[in-house]
Amino acid sequence: MKLFGKLVNFEFRRFLPIYIMLLAAVFLLQAAGVLYYAFMVKSEITESVMKLGIPKEQFLQDNGYVSIGNILSSFLFTLPIVIAAVTIFIYVLFIWYRDWLGKNTFIYRLLMLPVKRIQLFFSKLAAILIFVFGLIAYQVAVLPALQVILKLIIPVDYRLDLTIQGMIRSFYYLKFLLPEKFIDFVINYGFGTAFVIILFTMILIERSYRFKGVFMAVFYGIGALILVFSPYILQIIVKGYFYETELLWMQFAIAIILSAVSVFFSNHLLNRKIRV
Amino acid sequence: MIKLTNIEKRYGRKKILNGVTFEADKGQITCLIGINGAGKTTILQSIMGLTPYQKGEITIDGEKLSPKMLEKITYIPDTMTLLPKMRIKDAFQFMDDFYQNWNGERAKEILEFFKLKEDERISQLSKGNTAKVNLLMGLAMEADYILMDEPFSGIDIFSREQIADVFSSHLVEDRGVIITTHEISDIEHLIDKAVLLADGAVKKEFMTEQVREEEGKSVIDVMREVYQG
């Protein structure tokens, strides 16, 4: 267990420089979005209220209160989230391939560590999950700071400040990533984790069987996809017999079974089939 | 003792190892000799579980390879296996973190012997120094067995001499060493046992001293007989 912790720490530190750059990019782009919005609204207030003499109440009736909630779906807010998500997705592939294809073949060292090889699999998976949860936690922590920027520019009379929960509810991506119900959280991240596990297994199939493995991995991936969506195929056959929630639970159960099978298979590949 | 029994390995239809059987004892230097493509590296990788084989059995002191066993056996490949951005001291830390049998004192001793510095980055090492660091990472382990793949490959004469010195030093004393090479002249006088390979099979296996004393032949003489008929 101690060695597993060290492995996770090692994997985490390898991606840390890129991760820090990602976090900085998220803050800078979102701060730029807030500044742009705040100055635009402020100039509107100056123009309408100060120069044209429109009463404050009238302005608020026409334009509504200024709130960070108004810009949480804007391009500059969603772009860094998309960039971060894409980067982490690429890293899911890169986290294995860099050990084989880098300048030095570090996979030798990893496979020769005195730990069960499946721990390498789980340490990489844990690192990915830490990156994802870290990014979400960071986004939540950054929101109040961004609201402070808005507070510094827009007068209190024109502003509607949101609580953290209010900000999360107004932010489409966060609403999905941090659902209100715990069960939704388990389902969302359960599917996400199953996806990463299946992808890892596909990579290990390719790394074990090389050229032939490419086709085997694609076949495995397509098979997994068909199985996950099989409840919906069944639903068509039985002409809408099941409720939506029942279909979701069936999918979830299939994802859990597929994950278990993938871990078992990956363990076999790492111990018996993998090559440097 | 490392024991290989009837090891067979294929890549597709091509047979890479064809019934390889030999033993390497503790306290002896066993040299796998053969031209490129004879299967030397594949044998070492098979012992370490770095490449699968289809038939046969490999045991180390009577047991199959397990994570625990990787404290007992160490492999020095002919390629750098540390991350380029690591400094030598980071590599030491990495080994110390994961191996109970890592001997930091010994690592520093070998570092001094090779005249290397802890702060040097792996990516900036010359080919000769890369080979030395590879060797160092293996020798600093308190392992019973050391597998070395072509430690003299492509390095200058002074580095070769330094590495050859290691074989007669206390650093390999009492350990079982399996070394592969196609340049036997550097270590001919140091090896205890030679295993001649061709086309993935063992052509001849002999104790060098016995052949020297009883038949008056050097390893190179026997190689000529086997490979050139």
Interface of B with A in 47-66 (CB under 8 A): 48-52
Q: Is B8 exposed, middle or buried (0-12, 13-18, 19+ CB in 10 A)?
A: middle
**Rounded Cα–Cα distance for residues A99 and B8 (Å):** 27
pLDDT above 80 (res A102): no
Determine the residue type at A275: R
Least confident of A145-149, A166-170, B39-43, B65-69: A166-170
Mean pLDDT, range A206-221, rounded to an integer: 95
**CB-based contact A106 B99, cutoff 8 Å:** no
Please report the pLDDT score of residue B171 as a whole number. 78
CA angle at residue A253 from A247 to A255, to 5 degrees?
Answer: 105
Q: Which residues of B touch A104 (CB under 8 A)?
A: 79-84, 122
The residues that bridge with B179 in the sheet, in sequence order, are: B31, B148
Please report the pLDDT score of residue A157 as a whole number. 86
Q: Does B96 touch chain A (CB under 8 A)?
A: no
Structural domain harbouring A19: 1-178
**CB-based contact A104 B81, cutoff 8 Å:** yes
Shortest Cα–Cα distance, A98 to chain B (Å)? 10
Mean pLDDT, range A38-57, rounded to an integer: 85
**CB-based contact A104 B80, cutoff 8 Å:** yes
Same domain, A156 and A61: yes
**CB-based contact A3 B98, cutoff 8 Å:** yes
pLDDT above 80 (res A87): yes
- The answer to whether A255 touches A231, Cβ cutoff 8 Å, is no
**CB-based contact A108 B50, cutoff 8 Å:** yes
- pLDDT tens-digit series, residues B115-137: 899 999 999 998 888 888 988 99
Q: Which residues touch A195 (CB under 8 Å, ≥6 apart)?
A: none
Complex-level ipTM:
0.91
Higher pLDDT, B229 or A155: A155
Q: Does B220 touch chain A (CB under 8 A)?
A: no
- Residue where a domain terminates, one of A178, A194, A210: A178
**Rounded Cα–Cα distance for residues B84 and A98 (Å):** 12
**CB-based contact B75 A108, cutoff 8 Å:** yes
pLDDT above 80 (res A103): no
Same domain, A252 and A124: no
Using CA atoms, how far residue A151 sits from A38, A50, B41, in Å, is 9, 19, 67
What is the average pLDDT score of chain A? 91
**CB-based contact A111 B49, cutoff 8 Å:** yes
- pLDDT tens-digit series, residues B214-225: 999 889 999 989
- The answer to whether B37 touches B182, Cβ cutoff 8 Å, is no
How many separate domains does chain A show? 2
Confidence of residue B38 (pLDDT cuts 50, 70, 90): confident
The pair of three-digit structure tokens given for residue B206, joined into one six-digit string: 């002999």
- Residue where a domain terminates, one of A178, A212, A241: A178
pLDDT above 80 (res B183): no
- The answer to whether B40 touches B65, Cβ cutoff 8 Å, is no
Residue among A153, A145, A14, A173 at smallest CA distance from A80: A173
Q: Which residues of B touch A271 (CB under 8 A)?
A: 49
Structural domain harbouring B145: 2-228
The pair of three-digit structure tokens given for residue A107, joined into one six-digit string: 């996979």
- Residue where a domain terminates, one of A178, A199, A232: A178
Q: Which residues touch A8 (CB under 8 Å, ≥6 apart)?
A: A123, A126, A127, A130
* φ/ψ (deg, to 5) at B73: -130, 140
Using CA atoms, how far residue B142 sits from A59, A256, B18, in Å, is 79, 43, 32
- Helices (DSSP H) in B48-177: which residue ranges? 88-98, 104-113, 127-139, 157-167
Same domain, A165 and A265: no
Same domain, A170 and A198: no
**CB-based contact B50 A115, cutoff 8 Å:** no
Same domain, A131 and A263: no
Determine the residue type at A3: L
Higher pLDDT, A98 or B172: A98
Q: Say which CATH number the domain at B168 has.
A: 3.40.50.300
- The answer to whether A68 touches A162, Cβ cutoff 8 Å, is yes
Q: Which residues of B touch A111 (CB under 8 A)?
A: 48-50
Same domain, A235 and A146: no
Please report the pLDDT score of residue A218 as a whole number. 97
Q: Does B113 touch chain A (CB under 8 A)?
A: no
Mean pLDDT, range A99-107, rounded to an integer: 86
- The answer to whether B100 touches B68, Cβ cutoff 8 Å, is no
Confidence of residue B153 (pLDDT cuts 50, 70, 90): confident
A205-219 burial, b at 16+ Cβ within 10 Å, e below that, comes to bbbbbeeebeeebee
How many separate domains does chain B show? 1
**Rounded Cα–Cα distance for residues B149 and B76 (Å):** 6
pLDDT above 80 (res A211): yes
Residue among B137, B181, B118 at smallest CA distance from B155: B181
**CB-based contact A113 B98, cutoff 8 Å:** yes
Higher pLDDT, B18 or A104: B18
Q: Which residues of B touch A102 (CB under 8 A)?
A: 83-84
Count of Cβ atoms closer than 10 Å to residue B212 Cβ: 17
Q: Which residues of A touch B81 (CB under 8 A)?
A: 104-106, 108-109
- The answer to whether B151 touches B123, Cβ cutoff 8 Å, is no
- Helices (DSSP H) in B152-201: which residue ranges? 157-167
Same domain, A251 and A130: no
Same domain, A188 and A149: no
Mean pLDDT, range B145-149, rounded to an integer: 94
Q: Which residues of A touch B (CB under 8 A)?
A: 3, 6, 10, 14, 102-106, 108-109, 111-117, 208, 271-276
**Rounded Cα–Cα distance for residues B222 and B204 (Å):** 9
Q: Name residue, tokens 């992808």.
A: A199
Same domain, A165 and A193: no
Q: Does B46 touch chain A (CB under 8 A)?
A: no
Beta B73-76 vs B145-149: how paired, if at all?
A: parallel
Q: Is A10 exposed, middle or buried (0-12, 13-18, 19+ CB in 10 A)?
A: middle
Q: Which residue in the set A104, A208, A275 is minimally distant from B122, CB to CB?
A: A104
Please report the pLDDT score of residue A100 as a whole number. 92
Q: Which residue in the set A10, A105, A275 is minimally distant from B81, CB to CB?
A: A105
Give the SS3 label for residue B85: coil
Residue among A221, A230, A220 at smallest CA distance from A253: A230
**Rounded Cα–Cα distance for residues A26 and A146 (Å):** 11
- pLDDT tens-digit series, residues B90-113: 999 999 999 999 999 999 999 998
Q: Which residues of A touch B48 (CB under 8 A)?
A: 111-112
Q: Which residue in the set B52, B83, B99 is minimally distant from A114, CB to CB?
A: B99
